[in-house]
Chain A
Amino acid sequence: AQTVTQSQPEMSVQEAETVTLSCTYDTSENNYYLFWYKQPPSRQMILVIRQEAYKQQNATENRFSVNFQKAAKSFSLKISDSQLGDTAMYFCAFMKPRDNYGGSQGNLIFGKGTKLSVKP
């Protein structure tokens, strides 16, 4: 079964600095998708970034970028120029391509999250 591990329960960073959140996963699949979601205090889950495993190029979205290491099964999120509004829980998620019966395609498996605090 696939698992997602976020080893940093809490992190803090000074405003305008850069921070990296770690995520590792375990799968025997070759094709899959990885996501970072952000959950601010409002508790709304917001997509930050998506990475397709077949793409070698790391995904970027403005100040957010990932370091995708497929062989190492690592998917870290880098936040540059941190802003106070980046304070949130960050969840790494793995999308199951399919299960043994052909179903479950598109189901997400989440890590336990990293609580990021951006300090002024």
Chain B
Amino acid sequence: DGGITQSPKYLFRKEGQNVTLSCEQNLNHDAMYWYRQDPGQGLRLIYYSQIVNDFQKGDIAEGYSVSREKKESFPLTVTSAQKNPTAFYLCASNKGGLDTQYFGPGTRLTVL
């Protein structure tokens, strides 16, 4: 089955620790995206990548980092510099350009 997987589903970390969220897709999509969702808010774009080995900051990139070494994978690292990291994180992908984005199931990160 083709799709987007995110792991883990739930993640707990202590304050001050870096943590990496996984996003993998087997849809042969060129573009991948990371969004953050907070209660009562819509999704906000953190980082996006339209091609392997290239990525751009979104609207709220501070405190986050990404890599895109493989077409299928776009991991997101939440660093200790992110002041309020507890949130629901969604990964998405598409063929690029103006193609519809499709989403993974999300990761709930809680920083204690």
Chain A residues near B (Cβ < 8 Å):
4, 9, 33, 35, 37, 42-47, 50, 91, 93, 95, 97, 103-108, 110-113
For B31, what are the chain A residues with a Cβ–Cβ distance below 8 Å? 106
Q: Contact between A4 and B42 (Cβ–Cβ < 8 Å)?
A: yes
Q: Contact between A112 and B42 (Cβ–Cβ < 8 Å)?
A: yes
A105 with B98, Cβ < 8 A, contacts A4-B42, A112-B40 known: yes
B28 at the interface (CB under 8 A from A): no
A106 with B45, Cβ < 8 A, contacts A43-B88, A43-B106, A45-B90 known: no
Alpha-carbon distance between A43 and B35 when the two chains are bound, in angstroms: 13
Q: Contact between B103 and A45 (Cβ–Cβ < 8 Å)?
A: yes
Q: Contact between A107 and B42 (Cβ–Cβ < 8 Å)?
A: no
For A50, what are the chain B residues with a Cβ–Cβ distance below 8 Å? 100
Q: Contact between A95 and B98 (Cβ–Cβ < 8 Å)?
A: yes
A91 with B43, Cβ < 8 A, contacts A44-B105, A44-B106, A106-B94 known: yes
B101 at the interface (CB under 8 A from A): yes
In the complex, the chain B residue whose C-beta lies closest to that of A43 is B106
Q: Contact between A106 and B42 (Cβ–Cβ < 8 Å)?
A: no
Q: Contact between B43 and A108 (Cβ–Cβ < 8 Å)?
A: yes
A-B contact count (CB 8 A): 56
For B40, what are the chain A residues with a Cβ–Cβ distance below 8 Å? 9, 112-113
For A33, what are the chain B residues with a Cβ–Cβ distance below 8 Å? 98
Q: Contact between A107 and B58 (Cβ–Cβ < 8 Å)?
A: yes
Alpha-carbon distance between A45 and B44 when the two chains are bound, in angstroms: 14
Within 8 A of A (CB), among B86-112: 88, 90, 92, 94, 96-103, 105-106
Alpha-carbon distance between A105 and B96 when the two chains are bound, in angstroms: 8
Alpha-carbon distance between A47 and B41 when the two chains are bound, in angstroms: 18
Q: A47-B100, A47-B102 are in contact. List 12 more A-B contacts (CB 8 A).
A: A37-B103, A43-B106, A103-B56, A104-B56, A105-B97, A106-B31, A107-B48, A107-B58, A110-B43, A111-B42, A112-B40, A113-B42
Within 8 A of A (CB), among B1-58: 31, 33, 40-45, 48, 50, 56, 58
